[in-house]
A and B are shown apart, each in its own frame.
Chain A
Amino acid sequence: MDIFSHLIYGFQVVLEPINFLYCFVGVFIGTLIGVLPGIGPVGAMSILLPSTFGVSPVTGVIMLAGIYYGAMYGGSTTSILVNIPGEAASVVTCLDGYQMARQGRAGPALGISAMGSFIGGTFSIIALMFLVYPLAEIALKFGPPEYFSLMCLGMTIVAYLVKGSLIKAVIMAIIGLTLGCIGTDLISGKLRFVFGVSQLSDGINIVPLAMGLFGISEVLTNIEKPLKRMIYETKIRHILPNLEDWKKSLGPIARGSIIGFFLGILPGGGSILSSFVSYSTEKRISKHPEEFGRGAIEGVAGPETANNAATGGAFVPLLALGIPPNVIMALLLGALLIHGVAPGPMLIIKHPDVFWGTIASMYVGNAMLLLLNLPLIGIWVKLLKVPYRILFPLILLFTLIGAYSINNSTFDIFLMIFFGIVGYLLRKFEYEEAPLLLAFILGPMLEQAFRQSLIMSNGKLSIFFVRPISLGALILSIALFISTGITVFRKARKEVIKYGQKT
């Protein structure tokens, strides 16, 4: 089949020494930040974004993607051993994983989560490969109105699933879109909201914005409440799960793969939601639900598989449509745009190395992670003990160097500190930064689609409503908004969010 020759080409791309090295660095850093407290994948990816400028786009994306799925592996280690999720998608693993560790079964818990992650990750990559092609074919027929409406729908779902109030999330998205307008207007060439600052004429750079909102503000929030972690001291033995463990886990892993992949495609929820849905599914269909929460291996295998499968799903809308379904994918999009590579249906044709290279790198990366996480688990456990007071000056230093290195100018450092303070205040006032960053990245594309649609239709707004796909997306967005006004749905939304983010 055609796909396989493409895939072999993808492997050739990954096996180039530089790409192989960056893939390893990516998954290594990913596992590291999954294990270490106080910095999540978004912060780490934005700090490392400048380091991808010097290499080819495919190399950069391979590394950034590696950080993302690497963090999913690392996060489960802390959930099991410390009862603290390394990142939000591993919250549910704490329930049974930590209990298993306390019963002296930390080994099989870590083992099954790594194996499940590997299987889920691999499944989702295969599914992604088969789904992206036909989807991109369809997307080639999309015009500006379809893109405009789909982007609106994407942002609506992200805002809908953010914890806290919907209106606040919408406000954040509007602020993000407005920030995206700063700089030179692409169509008329006019400067907008630059206020005479020449460095702003190309717009706000995504790196200082993301590092400020997710790196600096995270540190500022963390220094006021010292993170205390109690590590469950236990010898980790029998990493490989025994036959009985496997028998119990096969079902959850299979279901987790499918749940994860399809929920991963949806905007907003991604890996967090899928791990919760997998857990509750397993609990509901289990013959002995009372064991859940007391160290049932199914409660580790299912969710851990699901959150890794979701990472593959999340690539579908990014690669096929060029619309990122969550903040992490938005950062990847930002990295591609910096290199002048526009994701979307044309990506496969114009930049096959990026497309197939990234997909193949995820196979290679998943295999690397298995090797990194199983035999070397002891090293990661030691790293758990690194205190935050040593980490945070280093995180700050890396953000400073990263911001400076974009243009060799201190302007970007000031910009980053400014957004750090803004992000810190937003957190204090219970506003979520994720919709802001996503909207900021989508902003210029959204505006272009909007204006092109209007020019196409000679100023008739009806163009958004007569095309079926565009109409469908808009109706769905509006329905989501209205549904929050109706009590029943408001309760349902609260349930979904409570369910998804028990952090």
Chain B
Amino acid sequence: MKKNDLIPAIIWIILGIAVAIGSYRLKLGNLANPGPGLMPFLLGIALLVCSFPVLIHSFLKMMRKTEQEEKIIWSEIDFKKLVIVLTSLIGYAVILEKIGFVTTTFLLLSILFKTVDSQKWFSVLIASILTVIITYFLFVVILKVELPSGFLGRIV
């Protein structure tokens, strides 16, 4: 275990306390007649109990060696790609029902293909259009999934 264990341990402790308090409010009942809060209350306490060894271990490790084999977690992250992928996913969910499956999917694929491959826009667009056509055929025509048609669908 490393210094990196500190942050999750603190989160678990807060989460454990929150779950325990929340469950207490749900009414615990008693053992003969357990209420809705009993099980989550026990889980919250268990989470709290299990977090402490992680926390203490991480403190001990931090005191013993400093700045060794650390930063591993964050060093290899490609923040630019990560942010682009995550925002485009969230964006997809936001505009899907407003603009419709075909347009939204085309936009998403263009961004994703461009980000990771950084090819010429021409091939990116061709690949995206092809994928949209294939997935539309697969999901809407064959599997009969109801996907939002959006304004384009209304015009056509």
Chain A interfacial positions (CB closer than 8 Å to B): 51, 54, 165, 167-168, 170-171, 174-175, 177-178, 181, 185, 187-188, 190, 192-193, 216, 219-220, 223-225, 389-390, 392-394, 396-397, 400-401, 404-405, 408, 410, 413-414, 417, 420-421, 428-431, 447, 450-451, 454-455, 458-461
Q: Is the interface of A mostly helix, strand, loop or mixed?
A: helix
Residue in contact with A397 in the complex, picked from B7, B31, B51, B105, CB distance below 8 Å: B105
Contact B33 A394 (CB under 8 A): no
Neighbouring B residues of A404 by C-beta, 8 Å: 96, 147
Neighbouring B residues of A429 by C-beta, 8 Å: 4-5, 7-8, 73
> Looking at A51, A170, A401, which has the most chain B CB atoms within 10 Å of its CB?
A401
B92 is an interface residue with CB less than 8 A from chain A? yes
Neighbouring B residues of A400 by C-beta, 8 Å: 89, 92-93, 108
Neighbouring B residues of A54 by C-beta, 8 Å: 144
Bound together, the chains give a CA A1 to CA B103 distance in angstroms of 59
16 contacts between A and B (CB under 8 A): A51-B143, A175-B15, A177-B43, A178-B43, A181-B43, A190-B26, A192-B40, A216-B89, A223-B82, A224-B76, A389-B113, A410-B93, A413-B92, A414-B90, A431-B8, A461-B31
Contact A389 B117 (CB under 8 A): yes
Q: A174-B43, A450-B34, A450-B39 are in contact. List 4 more A-B contacts (CB 8 A).
A: A171-B54, A192-B36, A192-B37, A410-B96
Neighbouring A residues of B145 by C-beta, 8 Å: 401, 405
Q: How many residues of B contact A (CB 8 A)?
A: 61
Bound together, the chains give a CA A430 to CA B7 distance in angstroms of 12
Contact A171 B51 (CB under 8 A): yes
Contact A171 B12 (CB under 8 A): yes
Contact B147 A224 (CB under 8 A): no
Contact A397 B135 (CB under 8 A): yes
Bound together, the chains give a CA A417 to CA B92 distance in angstroms of 11
Bound together, the chains give a CA A417 to CA B36 distance in angstroms of 29
Bound together, the chains give a CA A188 to CA B26 distance in angstroms of 11
Contact B50 A171 (CB under 8 A): yes
Contact A417 B89 (CB under 8 A): yes
Contact B131 A394 (CB under 8 A): yes
Neighbouring B residues of A185 by C-beta, 8 Å: 36
Closest 7 A/B residue pairs (Cβ): A459-B32, A459-B31, A393-B112, A185-B36, A413-B93, A190-B36, A224-B78
Neighbouring A residues of B86 by C-beta, 8 Å: 220, 417, 421
Q: Nearest CB to that of B38 among chain A residues?
A: A451
Residue in contact with B35 in the complex, picked from A165, A175, A188, A421, CB distance below 8 Å: A188
Residue in contact with A459 in the complex, picked from B4, B33, B44, B127, CB distance below 8 Å: B33
Neighbouring A residues of B143 by C-beta, 8 Å: 51
Contact A408 B40 (CB under 8 A): no
In the assembled complex, how far is the CB of residue A218 from the closest CB belonging to chain B, in whole angstroms?
Answer: 12
Neighbouring A residues of B38 by C-beta, 8 Å: 451
Contact A392 B112 (CB under 8 A): yes
Bound together, the chains give a CA A294 to CA B149 distance in angstroms of 58
Contact A397 B109 (CB under 8 A): yes
In the assembled complex, how far is the CB of residue A156 from the closest CB belonging to chain B, in whole angstroms?
Answer: 13
